[in-house]
Amino acid sequence: MLHSMTGFARAQDIQQTLVLTWELRSVNHRFLETQLRLPEPLRGLEHGLRETLRKHLKRGKVDCTLRVDRTEGASQLELNRPLLLQILAVLEQMRRDAPEVGAPNPMDLLRWPGILGTEAVMDETALKEPLTDLFEACLTQLIDHRQREGNQLHEAITQRLDEIDRLVGEIKRHSLSIAHQLRIKLQQRIADLGTELEPDRLTQEVALLAQRADIAEELDRLSIHVEEARSNLRSPGPHGRRLDFLTQELNREANTLGSKSVLAQTSQRAVDLKVIIEQIREQVQNVE
Domain ranges of the chain: 7-74+120-146, 78-117, 151-284
Distances in Å between the Cα of 244 and the Cα atoms of 148, 256, 283 are: 20, 19, 10
One-letter amino acid for residue 135 of the chain? F
The whole-number pLDDT of residue 176 equals 62
What is 7-74+120-146's CATH topology? Answer: Ribosomal Protein S5; domain 2 (3.30.230)
Q: Which residues lie below 8 Å from residue 103, measured CB to CB, with a gap of 6+?
A: none
Which segments in the chain show pLDDT lower than 50?
118, 206, 210
> Which top CATH class is 151-284?
mainly alpha
What is the CB neighbour count within 10 angstroms for residue 262?
16
Q: Tell me how far apart the alpha carbons of residues 259 and 45 are, in angstroms, rounded to a whole number.
A: 58
Q: What is the pLDDT of residues 145-179, one digit of tens each?
A: 999 999 999 999 999 999 999 999 988 887 665 65
Distances in Å between the Cα of 176 and the Cα atoms of 216, 244, 257, 260 are: 10, 32, 15, 15
Q: Is 73 left (phi over 0), alpha (psi -120 to 50) or beta?
A: left
